[in-house]
A and B are shown apart, each in its own frame.
Chain A
């Protein structure tokens, strides 16, 4: 009897669940790009990866305003996440089910462009926008002389400082347009006292930071593109890793624990007043403003500068258009609208990132008055330039399997300059076969 009741209950449950399941299925039977409906109206699918609540709202606002102004070309916003997005896009493109408009980042979208999945936007970018974004940033989204994505949001690596600790050490809080690596080192040394470190630098995954800041010293790591790329590790490439190592082991001005932490984790000792400075992605200014203890008087210092100035790698978040979209031209129109200065200022301010266009940067500076680090962040943005690693096919594999563990060993003082150079160079030869 019990068995029969159980079987009946199971069957009833399955029936109810199947009904619920088919209800869910009915909501969206078609995957992939939108299409043209009755009366010639067009629906564009826009897969967005925004994760911060304010940025999600900003994107919704932009889409809503487009939809109000363009009733014949509706944009449908599809919210997705960053985690696993590469695999998702690979499947979507191979399964001919990719959305019309794709949000991603320059370093990762390039392989899709090389495989011919992305539309050429070169002639679709409004002239005014084209001239308002630096050549270096355009370079980061150009493949085979074609613009394959619209750069939207960027970040730089900047130094945040505890003003009280800096002043207590007798050091002057740097101002101006830049701070040399030597000044930075001296400042960290001067503020290392009374059980406090001068610097907390979360370098658990150091490659992106080192690749970007190497440009300040002329370190490009790579020359050439695609499979033909060659690696070169010299003084410029080693300048920043060497600086970190010297600060950690000679000056002892870096909290050694922070070298094994992520950027966000390293913020904890900065908040606690155990470190006078911390190097972070510029977007952390918003988190510091939100999470720092009330008494923490913090300031963003001028951008770091090496022998080649304040150059840093531009690896922007991007919007691309699916080359197979039946409405690629309309999608490109939306992308151009999305990237206008007002929209970019609104989105980047919400996401605490840097817009690609100068006009949008000025709008943010004017609305924030340069407070909360925005003045220095925008100064650091002037150095953003295309990085050769973006054009290297094997970069991601090299970064994950060779560069990151090699840099970690170097920072742990297990290998020296020669050992690091050898590991990076030979490792690239292996993965680029």
Chain B
């Protein structure tokens, strides 16, 4: 038995606590800023704990910039993009990982090439295409754009997970009489679940945080997504409504935390351990 000595264990916990503090401190500061008055935020002596709790920032964030509506828009767009990306990339990733023909080379080439173009280069043609099919200023248009631009990386990511599943397992299933579809559904899909969840999280976050496409493609305030609505707290002449912005940012993190907490339970690795002898 290799037991860790108490001092080493204490140091490990200390390092872990420091790491958590390092990760969590900006969030704590954000929460703190969201409940401070503008006087306190403008003061020279700063503290993590507010001198007085100032909840008005949340009221301003929710009422003035239509944050609730923007949050619903963001949630709809992000969840749909996530579903589309996962549904489309699963079969494509399997094909990329398993079939070693010319198509694979073309597919990989497409993935890499699609990552090369800066968004600023394609935004005007994209805008014109979407305008012609009446999808400018629509959430559906945004979903299609996010799906298109997230797909290549999601595909690349997911095909790595597929490649990690030994083909021996599929062959064993075939020997036992399973059809290709049964093999996929009963063997590959469950083993691929951590990869699917990771891809889904990636697609969700990419859509949730995206600003530029939403800024340019969405014209009406009722269709704004959260990043666009939050940016409206930053004004001209360097004016920033820091308190309401912090409050809005805190509120904006809640839906993504909920989605993550639901998905992360399925993000378990090690399912393949011992599945193939040797």
Known: A3-B189, A13-B79, A21-B143. A87 touches B215 (CB 8 A): yes
Report whether B139 and A21 are in contact in the complex, using a CB–CB cutoff of 8 Å: yes
Contact string against A for B residues 226-249, beta-carbon threshold 8 Å, 1 for contact and 0 otherwise: 001001111111111100000000
Contact string against A for B residues 28-44, beta-carbon threshold 8 Å, 1 for contact and 0 otherwise: 00000000001100111
Q: State whether the Cβ of A40 lies closer than 8 Å to any Cβ in chain B.
A: no
Query: Which residues on the A side are within 8 Å of B135 (C-beta)?
Result: 25
Report whether B236 and A105 are in contact in the complex, using a CB–CB cutoff of 8 Å: yes
Q: State whether the Cβ of A10 lies closer than 8 Å to any Cβ in chain B.
A: yes
Report whether A31 and B238 are in contact in the complex, using a CB–CB cutoff of 8 Å: no
Q: Please name the residue on chain A nearest to B45 by beta carbon.
A: A272
Q: State whether the Cβ of A74 lies closer than 8 Å to any Cβ in chain B.
A: no
User: CA A29 – CA B64 in complex, angstroms?
Assistant: 24
Contact string against B for A residues 195-218, beta-carbon threshold 8 Å, 1 for contact and 0 otherwise: 000000000000000000000000
Q: Which of B86-140 contact A (CB under 8 A)?
A: 87, 120, 123-124, 127-128, 131, 134-140
Q: State whether the Cβ of A290 lies closer than 8 Å to any Cβ in chain B.
A: yes
Report whether A293 and B39 are in contact in the complex, using a CB–CB cutoff of 8 Å: yes
Report whether B123 and A91 are in contact in the complex, using a CB–CB cutoff of 8 Å: yes
Report whether A29 and B137 are in contact in the complex, using a CB–CB cutoff of 8 Å: yes
Interface segment, B15-23, B149-157, B217-225? B217-225
Interface segment, A76-84, A121-129, A411-419? A76-84
Taking the closest CB of chain B, its distance from the CB of A115, in whole angstroms, is 13
User: CA A18 – CA B135 in complex, angstroms?
Assistant: 14
Query: Which residues on the B side are within 8 Å of A18 (C-beta)?
Result: 80, 140
Q: State whether the Cβ of B166 lies closer than 8 Å to any Cβ in chain A.
A: no
User: CA A293 – CA B237 in complex, angstroms?
Assistant: 23
**A interface, how many residues as a size bin?**
35 or more
Known: A51-B236, A79-B221. A97 touches B127 (CB 8 A): yes
Known: A22-B140, A90-B124. A271 touches B77 (CB 8 A): no
Report whether A3 and B190 are in contact in the complex, using a CB–CB cutoff of 8 Å: yes
User: CA A17 – CA B60 in complex, angstroms?
Assistant: 28
Selected A-B contacts with CB under 8 Å, 11 pairs: A14-B80, A20-B72, A24-B140, A24-B222, A25-B140, A28-B137, A51-B236, A52-B235, A94-B124, A267-B42, A293-B39
User: CA A316 – CA B239 in complex, angstroms?
Assistant: 16
Q: Which of A24-61 contact B (CB under 8 A)?
A: 24-25, 27-32, 49, 51-53, 56
Known: A17-B83, A31-B137. A81 touches B38 (CB 8 A): no
Given A25-B138, A293-B43, 15 new contacts (CB under 8 A): A13-B79, A21-B80, A21-B140, A21-B143, A24-B138, A24-B139, A25-B135, A51-B235, A52-B239, A53-B64, A56-B64, A78-B221, A97-B131, A264-B238, A290-B39
Query: Which residues on the A side are within 8 Å of B45 (C-beta)?
Result: 272
Q: Please name the residue on chain B nearest to A55 by beta carbon.
A: B235
Q: State whether the Cβ of A269 lies closer than 8 Å to any Cβ in chain B.
A: yes
Taking the closest CB of chain B, its distance from the CB of A54, in whole angstroms, is 11
Q: Which 3 A-B pairs have the closest CB atoms?
A: A51-B235, A25-B138, A272-B44
> Of B77, B84, B138, which is in contact with the most chain A CB atoms at under 10 Å from its CB?
B138
**Residues of B bordering A, CB below 8 Å:** 38-39, 42-45, 60, 64, 72-73, 76-77, 79-80, 83-84, 87, 120, 123-124, 127-128, 131, 134-141, 143, 185, 189-190, 211-212, 215-216, 219-223, 228, 231-241
User: CA A292 – CA B228 in complex, angstroms?
Assistant: 30
- Of B60, B128, B240, the contact of A264 (CB 8 Å cutoff): B240
User: CA A268 – CA B140 in complex, angstroms?
Assistant: 45
User: CA A30 – CA B137 in complex, angstroms?
Assistant: 7
Report whether B234 and A81 are in contact in the complex, using a CB–CB cutoff of 8 Å: yes
Report whether B140 and A17 are in contact in the complex, using a CB–CB cutoff of 8 Å: no
Known: A28-B219, A283-B239. A21 touches B77 (CB 8 A): yes
**Residues of A bordering B, CB below 8 Å:** 3, 10, 13-14, 17-18, 20-22, 24-25, 27-32, 49, 51-53, 56, 78-84, 87-88, 90-92, 94-97, 105, 155, 262-264, 267-269, 271-272, 274, 281, 283, 287, 290-293, 317, 353
Known: A24-B73, A291-B38. A155 touches B237 (CB 8 A): yes
Known: A28-B222, A271-B44. A95 touches B83 (CB 8 A): no
User: CA A105 – CA B128 in complex, angstroms?
Assistant: 26
- Of A3, A14, A84, A88, the contact of B185 (CB 8 Å cutoff): A3
Report whether B79 and A17 are in contact in the complex, using a CB–CB cutoff of 8 Å: yes
> Of A31, A49, A78, A263, which is in contact with the most chain B CB atoms at under 10 Å from its CB?
A31
User: CA A27 – CA B134 in complex, angstroms?
Assistant: 12
Query: Which residues on the A side are within 8 Å of B120 (C-beta)?
Result: 87
Report whether B131 and A95 are in contact in the complex, using a CB–CB cutoff of 8 Å: yes
User: CA A25 – CA B237 in complex, angstroms?
Assistant: 33
> Of A13, A97, A155, A272, which is in contact with the most chain B CB atoms at under 10 Å from its CB?
A97
Query: Which residues on the A side are within 8 Å of B77 (C-beta)?
Result: 21
Query: Which residues on the B side are within 8 Å of A51 (C-beta)?
Result: 232-236, 239, 241
User: CA A13 – CA B44 in complex, angstroms?
Assistant: 49
Report whether A87 and B79 are in contact in the complex, using a CB–CB cutoff of 8 Å: no
- Of B44, B138, B139, B232, the contact of A274 (CB 8 Å cutoff): B44
Taking the closest CB of chain A, its distance from the CB of B74, in whole angstroms, is 11
Report whether B223 and A27 are in contact in the complex, using a CB–CB cutoff of 8 Å: yes
- Of A17, A78, A95, the contact of B80 (CB 8 Å cutoff): A17
Report whether B235 and A87 are in contact in the complex, using a CB–CB cutoff of 8 Å: no
- Of B73, B212, B222, B223, the contact of A84 (CB 8 Å cutoff): B212
Q: Please name the residue on chain A nearest to B131 by beta carbon.
A: A95
User: CA A53 – CA B63 in complex, angstroms?
Assistant: 11
Query: Which residues on the B side are within 8 Å of A317 (C-beta)?
Result: 236
Q: Please name the residue on chain A nearest to B84 by beta carbon.
A: A14
> Of A21, A90, A281, which is in contact with the most chain B CB atoms at under 10 Å from its CB?
A21
Q: Please name the residue on chain A nearest to B211 by beta carbon.
A: A84
User: CA A18 – CA B219 in complex, angstroms?
Assistant: 20
Report whether B43 and A271 are in contact in the complex, using a CB–CB cutoff of 8 Å: yes
Report whether B83 and A10 are in contact in the complex, using a CB–CB cutoff of 8 Å: yes
Report whether B124 and A17 are in contact in the complex, using a CB–CB cutoff of 8 Å: no
Query: Which residues on the B side are within 8 Å of A272 (C-beta)?
Result: 43-45
Report whether B220 and A28 are in contact in the complex, using a CB–CB cutoff of 8 Å: yes
Taking the closest CB of chain B, its distance from the CB of A105, in whole angstroms, is 7
Query: Which residues on the A side are within 8 Å of B140 (C-beta)?
Result: 18, 21-22, 24-25
Report whether B189 and A95 are in contact in the complex, using a CB–CB cutoff of 8 Å: no
Query: Which residues on the B side are within 8 Å of A3 (C-beta)?
Result: 185, 189-190
User: CA A31 – CA B212 in complex, angstroms?
Assistant: 17
Query: Which residues on the A side are within 8 Å of B143 (C-beta)?
Result: 21
